[in-house]
Amino acid sequence: MSLKIVVVDAGRLPRDVEFPPLDIPKYGWEEYPGLDAEGMAERCWRADVVVSFGEAISGDLLKKMHRLGLLITVGEACGRLDQAAAVAQGVELLAFPDSDCTDPDDAQDVCNRIVAAIEHYVSGGEADREQA
């Protein structure tokens, strides 16, 4: 299984803050400095995981993300998400509401935690498939 991960607004991260590489066999990672709703619909329609640091994600936008399984929001993005629509669509949610990522150390910590969460999500999915 190949995983597609999209960070829709990586431009909000401080300079020199990076996501560490994932420890999974096959994935695609895309980072954009910032996408509006139209750009997200175009870039995320086949994404398995989407990460947002501030961009709003509406129910209409979520409907266009057909493969989305995990949505990670950080800081102000947590309050700009249609949580009910995400839950209704079966999307797992992970939020870091207290992180604003203006401090480089905090931002790097959040990036590290996001990668760990994605790895956990992937390993959990594989365990579920093996049990089926």
- Rounded CA separation 62/57 (Å): 7
H/E element holding 31? strand 27-31
Range of the domain at 34: 3-131
Helix-strand-coil split of the chain, %, nearest 5 = 40, 20, 40
Beta-carbon count within 10 A of 72 CB: 24
Domain count, the chain: 1
> Domain with 35 in it: what CATH number?
3.40.50.720
DSSP 8-state assignment for residue 4: E
- Tens-digit pLDDT string for the chain (132 aa): 689 999 999 999 999 999 999 999 899 999 999 999 999 999 999 999 999 998 989 999 999 999 999 999 998 888 889 999 999 999 999 999 988 789 999 999 999 999 999 999 998 855 444 443
Q: What angle do CA 28, 62, 112 make, to 5 degrees?
A: 45
The structure's pTM equals 0.90
